[in-house]
């Protein structure tokens, strides 16, 4: 039991040496850990365990604790250690993950005061479908599906994209009675090749090659491998069905140029041009362009062609907010600041411009939901709703 006491000194030592990694080995013991807020979650093992399984279990534990305690930090652990013991007892058996679905756990591990009578665990715990309880009933049966794509990008001042990728997530909100089976079809490139329809990709580029696909445990992987059909009995409520990544050359959706002009060490002027480079029928909402400025500026003045601009001292930046930015448009913002008479020399390069945005009804990758079938033995009619959203991830544009 005492070996856990060696973890923090070992981690500090490795961090000082610059050799810290997600797995530390000391005297034949493997310490696999993650950090969330101010809490370390650590597993210890003497065997050659599957590290990816261990890390997945740790992230799942964090997810369940956040569902229970709203946040996971030191105070939450101290206040809820009895429930944490109970959750560990159900989530892990002999070091193997068992029941990890928070909605099922909440049916028999509650945060109310403990009464003397024992609570029977729900049938779902021992069922093949351990993530959904039986007997769920709704008056109106609906499924809401969101395809959310985040664009990570780094581009230089000349407009050359240095790094770009799309990180996608398909999220569900399920309001369905009984034990329905859902079948989801996407325009996945592999699906088209296997079904002999790859020639169709030539006209219009309908195929999308997904990488690093990660599924929720409810997906039948064998059927996906053989038929490329995503078939599953969904949990009740909200969950992430799958996540994916595409390493692809993405044209900047919103391009920003900034020209900086200094006047004799007393004043600096910025002329910032933002251009939307997506289809005219699409509109970007809640656009924020964050332009870094020197830390010693004062007396800001702004003139904008659209939206509002303000100086945010804690960020050392101008934040230009445009509520609605249609495709194919260009807006200009001008600003000026006073500088101290003795200017500080810029030793390091300027930080990049950051852009935040959200474009509804739009996917950068071209991923499309081809069909969503809902099959339930009682034969009720259910309404599927599909929504596409593209948003910024780590979206940076370097300044000249």
C-alpha 56/C-alpha 105 separation (Å) is 18
Same fold flag, 6-113 and 142-250+364-397: no
- What CATH code is assigned to 6-113? 3.30.450.60
Would you call 293 exposed, middle or buried from its count of C-beta atoms within 10 A (0-12, 13-18, 19+)?
Answer: buried
For 228-278, write each residue's pLDDT tens digit: 789 999 999 999 999 999 888 889 999 999 999 888 768 889 999 999 999
- Structure token digits, residue 132: 């959904």
125 three-class SS: helix
- What CATH code is assigned to 254-340+350-360? 2.60.40.1170
Which CATH architecture best describes the domain 142-250+364-397? Sandwich (2.60)
Instruction: Annotate 52-77 with three-state secondary structure.
Output: HHHHHHHHHHHHHHHHHHCCCCHHHH
- Structure token digits, residue 146: 């969101």
Proportion of the chain in helix, strand, coil states, percent, rounded to 5: 20, 40, 35
Say whether pLDDT at 354 is over 50: yes
pLDDT band at 39 (very low <50, low <70, confident <90, very high): very high
Q: How many other CB atoms are found less than 10 A from the CB of residue 274?
A: 24
8 Å CB contact between 290 and 319: yes
8 Å CB contact between 198 and 192: yes
pLDDT band at 124 (very low <50, low <70, confident <90, very high): low
Nearest Cα to Cα of residue 186 among 231, 151, 217, 221: 231
Does the pTM of the predicted model rise above 0.85? no
Cα dihedral angle (174, 176, 182, 188), rounded to 10 degrees?
-30
More confident residue, 202 or 148: 148
Q: How many other CB atoms are found less than 10 A from the CB of residue 29?
A: 15
Cα dihedral angle (374, 379, 380, 384), rounded to 10 degrees?
10
Domain ranges across the chain: 6-113, 142-250+364-397, 254-340+350-360
Question: Which of these ranges, 121-135, 211-225, 339-353, has the smallest mean pLDDT?
Answer: 339-353
Nearest Cα to Cα of residue 76 among 59, 62, 89: 62
């Amino acid at each position: 039991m005492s070996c856990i006491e060696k973890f923090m000194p070992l981690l500090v030592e490795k961090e000082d040496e610059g050799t810290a990694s997600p797995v530390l080995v000391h005297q034949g013991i493997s310490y696999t850990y993650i950090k969330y807020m101010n809490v370390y979650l650590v597993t210890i093992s003497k065997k050659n365990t599957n590290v990816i399984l261990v890390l997945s279990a740790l992230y799942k534990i964090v997810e369940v604790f956040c569902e229970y305690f709203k946040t996971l930090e030191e105070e939450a652990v101290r206040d809820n250690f009895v429930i944490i013991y109970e959750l560990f007892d159900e989530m892990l058996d002999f070091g193997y993950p068992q029941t990890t679905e928070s909605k099922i756990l909440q049916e028999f591990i509650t945060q109310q005061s403990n009464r003397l009578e024992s609570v029977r665990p729900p049938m779902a715990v021992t069922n093949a479908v351990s993530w959904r309880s039986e007997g769920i009933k709704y008056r109106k049966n609906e499924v809401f599906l969101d395809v959310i794509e985040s664009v990570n990008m780094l581009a230089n001042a000349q407009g050359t994209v240095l790094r770009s990728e799309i990180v996608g997530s398909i999220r569900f909100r399920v309001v369905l009675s009984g034990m329905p089976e859902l079948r989801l079809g996407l325009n996945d490139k592999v699906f088209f090749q296997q079904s002999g329809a790859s020639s169709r990709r030539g006209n219009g580029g309908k195929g999308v090659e997904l990488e690093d696909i990660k599924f929720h445990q409810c997906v039948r992987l064998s059927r996906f491998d053989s038929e490329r059909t995503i078939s599953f009995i969904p949990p009740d409520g909200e969950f992430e069905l799958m996540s994916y990544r595409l390493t692809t050359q993405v044209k900047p959706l919103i391009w920003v140029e900034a020209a900086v002009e200094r006047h004799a060490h007393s004043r600096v002027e910025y002329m910032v041009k933002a251009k939307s480079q997506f289809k005219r029928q699409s509109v970007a909402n809640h656009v924020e362009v964050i332009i870094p400025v020197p830390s010693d500026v004062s007396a800001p003045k702004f003139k904008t062609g659209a939206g509002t601009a303000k100086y945010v001292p804690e960020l050392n930046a101008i934040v230009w907010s445009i509520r609605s930015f249609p495709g194919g448009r260009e807006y200009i913002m001008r600003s000026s600041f006073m500088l101290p008479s003795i200017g500080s020399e810029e030793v390091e390069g300027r930080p990049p411009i950051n852009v935040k945005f959200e474009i509804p009804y739009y996917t950068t990758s071209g991923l499309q939901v081809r069909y969503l079938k809902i099959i339930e033995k009682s034969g009720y009619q259910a309404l599927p709703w599909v929504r596409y959203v593209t948003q910024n991830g780590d979206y940076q544009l370097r300044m000249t």
